[in-house]
Amino acid sequence: MKKILVITAVACLMMACGGNKNQKEMNNISNKEKAVALLKAIETGDNASIAYVNAESYKQHNLTVADGLDGFGAALAGLADFPEKARVNTVRAFEDGDYVVCQTDYNFYGPKAGFDIFRFEDGKIIEHWDNLMVYNGEKNPSGHTPFDGTTEVKDLDKTEANKALVRNFVQDVLMGQHPENLTNYFDGNTYIQHNTAIADGLDGLGAALAAMAEQGIKMEYFTIHKILGCGNFVLAVSEGRFADQPTSYYDLFRVENGKIAEHWDVMETIAPESDWKHQNGKFNF
Amino acid sequence: MSTQKHIPVIKFHKDKYGDELLIDVVTLDMIRASKDFAKALRQSFYGVMLTTGGEGDVEVDGEPCTATKGLVAFARPGDVGTVTNDRNLTALELIFERDFILSFFNDPHFLDGLSYFSTSRPSPYVMLNEALYNRIIGLYVEIQLEVANARDRHLLRAMLYETLMLLQKASPVSGRKRESSETRVARFCELVNEYFLTETGVEFYAERLCITPNYLNRIVRQTLGQSTKGYIQSRRIEEARQLLRYTSLPVSDIADRLGFDTPTYFGRAFAQATGTTPLQFRSCPEK
């Protein structure tokens, strides 16, 4: 059964060039819906949504997947040999300009938590970035998963202010430029944490920092590559090192009344250059 | 009863971050894990332990208290701390060496003047309200982040100073000192009964009780009206009286059995305590 689904998915890639969705239908569907549908196709093998990808130009930034639509097809084809069925449940998705951000509960070569970013041009996806981590289903010390929590998008008029707040927070606190400003970013100890190892609150953060220091693990943020947001949700894409490994950080924050209220994240060790399937880079927004 | 044979002293890990740094924030688990979960520990530095969750019985310098979220326990260098009956207790401890802050201040008694570090402190505990808890935990994390990043000594000192000053605003929580010192003295008397033949030093009993010799001296004097050493000595003399009265052991054997270095020394101590020599007492015990 699984094999058939994957074959269907690959077949649909071949058909995608033909563009079996008419232009009118394409225009009525939002970029967000297209991105979510494309991801869901990994699970269902639904060939129709492949049409949302620009087949001539699809720039891949997942370093271990080959460039172009055929690279995506090859990644899907590999699923046939994987013993677990693919599962794709996108739990949050938002648009910011030409970009769509999706946060997804995956089984894609094993259970994973992931963020995907798609860039659209003329209604079609032309570029893709992602960050994936293995997630075994355990709850964190405060009982949260990397997916649960608030999903309601609001404060659409505050998108820019919230993006600026998150950019400053990453610079001041995560990049360590002005740690003394930490408490300005929070409403007291209120901070719902979805990181798999950290408990809620600044006290949870403090315990995690102490544990890392004790083990000699450094979490370093060097560069912010992209800030994308929609109302109360803001995603920061950053690069740094975690435990001396080059690391890509995707941090999603929920902002409430000008304070950071909730956090989800995915950290991925950046694959060594010898494993790269293309030279598009992990970031290059 | 504790099976601990001594009170481990935890030293400041000054070069944890490479160059010397005399301030840090650590978790309770680390402090305890570092000495094989010994029940009683002595730190050679200042510690401000902020309880962040769970519950447990803590003692600082012999004063017990139930720790719940918001309770802060203060330890000066040399104070003995214990955590027992731990119900998922979590805490962060801000630790620093005296020099870290004093090298900056003209006042060498700055730390001793703080209400919770002074020798006459009402209690080694304060309880934070929510607003103060949030500020203090924020400062702890700011200190951690600064330690993990630039390690600017001046900023760290400023954060420590702010933390210490804010903590003076919190309400002291009295430990259960009176009740506990009586219990402790009772345990001390039991211990003396058990060990006086071989152990005559105050240190031994203080360690067994997980408190400092000074604190033991204080509560023994308060409760029994005599010094710890005097009490131990009187227990030995009491035993000597029993042996003189009910056995025919030579005085030198009794002296030896009771751990006196020489029969002469025993004779002198016995005379001092009873007003009579061992031989006179044996011949006429009713006196």
Rounded distance between C-alpha atoms, residue B196 and residue B210, angstroms: 18
Six token digits for residue A104: 């997804």
Q: Residue A7's pLDDT is what? A: 40
Nearby residues of A251 by Cβ (< 8 Å), 6 or more positions away: A170, A174, A235, A236, A238, A263, A264, A265
CA angle centred on A72, ends A70 and A74, rounded to 5°: 70
Residue B284: pLDDT band (50, 70, 90) is confident
Residue B16: pLDDT band (50, 70, 90) is confident
B227 to chain A, closest Cα gap in Å: 43
> pLDDT tens digit string along B261-274?
899 999 999 998 88
Which residues from chain A sit within 8 angstroms of residue B140, using beta carbons? 202-203, 206
> pLDDT tens digit string along B173-225?
876 554 567 778 888 988 898 888 888 889 888 877 767 788 889 889 988 88
Cβ distance of A209 and B26 shorter than 8 Å: no
Rounded distance between C-alpha atoms, residue B48 and residue B39, angstroms: 18
Cβ distance of B148 and A209 shorter than 8 Å: yes
What are residue A94's DSSP bridge partners? A101
Phi, psi of B138, deg, nearest 5 = -60, -45
Q: Residue A4's pLDDT is what? A: 42
Helices in chain B by DSSP H: which ranges?
A: 28-33, 98-102, 130-148, 153-167, 177-195, 202-208, 213-224, 228-246, 251-257, 263-274, 278-283
Domain ranges of chain A: 2-137, 156-269
When CB atoms are compared, the residue of B90, B134, B144 closest to A188 is B134
Could you tell me which CATH number the domain at A2-137 has? 3.10.450.50
> pLDDT tens digit string along B80-130?
888 877 788 999 999 999 989 887 777 888 999 999 998 888 889 999 999
Instruction: Establish if A202 touches chain B: CB-CB under 8 angstroms.
Output: yes
pLDDT score of B276 more than 70: yes
Q: Is B18 exposed, middle or buried (0-12, 13-18, 19+ CB in 10 A)?
A: exposed
Helices in A17-156 by DSSP H: which ranges?
A: 23-28, 31-44, 68-78
Other C-beta atoms lying within 10 Å of the C-beta of residue B284: 9
Which residue reads 């139930």 in tokens?
B66
Which residues from chain B sit within 8 angstroms of residue A180, using beta carbons? 142, 146, 155, 159
Which residues from chain A sit within 8 angstroms of residue B159, using beta carbons? 180
Check residue B235 and give left, alpha or beta (phi > 0: left; psi -120 to 50: alpha): alpha
Rounded distance between C-alpha atoms, residue B203 and residue B213, angstroms: 6
Residue B153: pLDDT band (50, 70, 90) is very high
Instruction: Establish if B131 touches chain A: CB-CB under 8 angstroms.
Output: yes
Q: Residue A51's pLDDT is what? A: 92
Q: Which residue has the higher pLDDT, A178 or B40?
A: A178
Q: Residue A22's pLDDT is what? A: 58
Cβ distance of B16 and A207 shorter than 8 Å: no
Which residues from chain B sit within 8 angstroms of residue A213, using beta carbons? 16-17, 24, 26, 144, 147-148
| Helix B130-148 and helix A201-214, axial crossing angle in degrees, nearest 10 | 30
pLDDT score of B1 more than 50: no
When CB atoms are compared, the residue of B16, B17, B27 closest to A211 is B27
B56 to chain A, closest Cα gap in Å: 18
Assign A284 to helix, strand or coil.
coil
Check if CATH label 3.50.50.60 holds for domain A156-269: no
Concatenate the DSSP letters of all residues of B38-74 into one string: -SEEEESSEEEEEEEEEEEEEEETTEEEEE-TTEEEE
Phi, psi of B115, deg, nearest 5 = -55, -30
Lowest mean pLDDT among B16-20, B149-153, B255-259: B16-20
Query: Where does A33-178 show beta strands of DSSP type E?
Result: 59-60, 87-96, 99-107, 111-121, 124-134
A135 to chain B, closest Cα gap in Å: 26
Six token digits for residue B194: 């058990």
Cβ distance of A207 and B52 shorter than 8 Å: yes
- Confirm whether A2-137 and A156-269 share one CATH topology: yes
Cβ distance of A180 and B146 shorter than 8 Å: yes
pLDDT score of B29 more than 60: yes
What are residue B72's DSSP bridge partners? B50, B126
Q: Which of B26, B72, B88, B144 to mutate to test the interface with A (most CBs of A within 10 A)?
A: B144
Nearby residues of A175 by Cβ (< 8 Å), 6 or more positions away: A221, A222, A224
Rounded distance between C-alpha atoms, residue B157 and residue A178, angstroms: 15
Which residues from chain A sit within 8 angstroms of residue B95, using beta carbons? none
The mean pLDDT value for B133-144 works out to 96
| Separation of CA A284 from chain center | 15
Q: Residue A60's pLDDT is what? A: 97
Q: Residue B12's pLDDT is what? A: 82
**pLDDT tens track, chain A, 285 positions:** 444 444 444 433 333 333 445 565 666 899 999 999 999 999 988 878 899 999 999 999 999 999 999 999 888 888 888 899 999 999 999 999 999 999 999 999 999 999 999 999 999 999 999 999 999 999 999 999 999 999 999 999 999 999 999 999 999 999 999 999 999 999 999 999 999 999 999 999 999 999 999 899 999 999 999 999 999 999 999 999 999 999 999 999 999 999 999 999 999 999 999 999 999 999 999
Domains plus CATH for chain B? 9-173 (2.60.120.280), 178-283 (1.10.10.60)
Task: Sort strands B40-43 and B9-10 into parallel, antiparallel or unpaired.
Answer: parallel
Which residues from chain A sit within 8 angstroms of residue B16, using beta carbons? 213
pLDDT score of B141 more than 60: yes
Rounded distance between C-alpha atoms, residue B156 and residue A180, angstroms: 9
Which residues from chain B sit within 8 angstroms of residue A205, using beta carbons? 141
Q: Residue A26's pLDDT is what? A: 66
Q: What's A63's DSSP letter?
A: T
Cβ distance of A206 and B150 shorter than 8 Å: no
